[in-house]
Amino acid sequence: MPTALLLENLHPHARTILETAGFDVVTRTGALDEAELVEALAGVQVLGIRSKTNVPADVLAAAPDLEVVGAFCIGTNQIDLHAAASSGIAVFNAPFSNTRSVVEIAIADIISLTRRLTVFDKEMHAGVWNKSATGAHEVRGRTLGIIGYGNIGTQLSVLAENLGMSVVFYDTSEKLALGNARRMNTLDELLETADVVTLHVDGRAGNAGMFGAKQIARMRPGSIFLNLSRGFVVDYAALRDAVLSGHVAGAAVDVFPVEPKRKGDPFESELRGLPNVILTPHTGGSTEEAQEAIGQFVAHKVRDYLMTGSTNLSVNLPNLALDQRPDAHRVAYLHRNVPGVLATINATLAEHGVNIEGQLLATRGELGYVVTDVSSRVPTDVVDVLAGRPESLRLRLLD
Strands 196-199 and 223-227: parallel
Catalytic choice (50, 230, 303, 389): 230
Whether 259 is catalytic is yes
Task: Mention every residue, 6+ apart, whose C-beta is less than 8 A from residue 274.
Answer: 240, 243, 244, 251
Q: Does 173 bind ligand NAD (CB under 6 A)?
A: yes
Name beta bridge partners: 373: 330, 358
Whether 272 is catalytic is no
| Residues contacting ligand NAD: total by CB under 6 A | 30
- Position among 13, 200, 330, 389 found at the interface with ligand NAD (CB under 6 A): 200
Q: What is the spatial distance between Cα 361 and Cα 19, in angstroms, rounded to a whole number?
A: 30
Q: What is the spatial distance between Cα 319 and Cα 361, in angstroms, rounded to a whole number?
A: 9
Q: Which among 148-156, 245-253, 261-269, 366-374 is the span making contact with ligand NAD, rule CB under 6 A?
A: 148-156
Fill in the amino acid letter for 296. Q
Q: Which among 123-131, 133-141, 159-167, 223-231 is the span making contact with ligand NAD, rule CB under 6 A?
A: 223-231
Q: Does 201 bind ligand NAD (CB under 6 A)?
A: yes
> How much is the CA Rg of the chain, to the nearest whole Å?
26
Quick note: the x/- pattern for ligand NAD over 271-310, rule CB under 6 A, is -----------x-xx-------------------------
Whether 282 is catalytic is yes
Q: Which among 106-114, 147-155, 340-348, 386-394 is the span making contact with ligand NAD, rule CB under 6 A?
A: 147-155
Nearer to ligand NAD, 18 or 102 (CB): 102
Q: Does 172 bind ligand NAD (CB under 6 A)?
A: yes
Neighbours of 186 (CB within 10 A): 9
- Position among 21, 152, 194, 239 found at the interface with ligand NAD (CB under 6 A): 152
Nearer to ligand NAD, 206 or 264 (CB): 206
Q: Which among 127-135, 164-172, 296-304, 313-321 is the span making contact with ligand NAD, rule CB under 6 A?
A: 164-172
Q: What is the spatial distance between Cα 95 and Cα 205, in angstroms, rounded to a whole number?
A: 19
Strands 46-49 and 3-6: parallel
Within the chain, strands assigned E span: 3-6, 24-27, 46-49, 68-71, 90-92, 143-147, 166-170, 182-183, 196-199, 223-227, 248-253, 277-279, 329-336, 356-364, 367-374, 392-398
Provide the 3-class DSSP secondary structure of residue 301. Answer: helix
User: Catalytic site residues?
Assistant: 230, 259, 282
> Where on the chain is the footprint of ligand NAD (CB under 6 A)?
74, 98-99, 102, 147-153, 170-173, 200-204, 207, 210, 228-230, 254-255, 282, 284-285
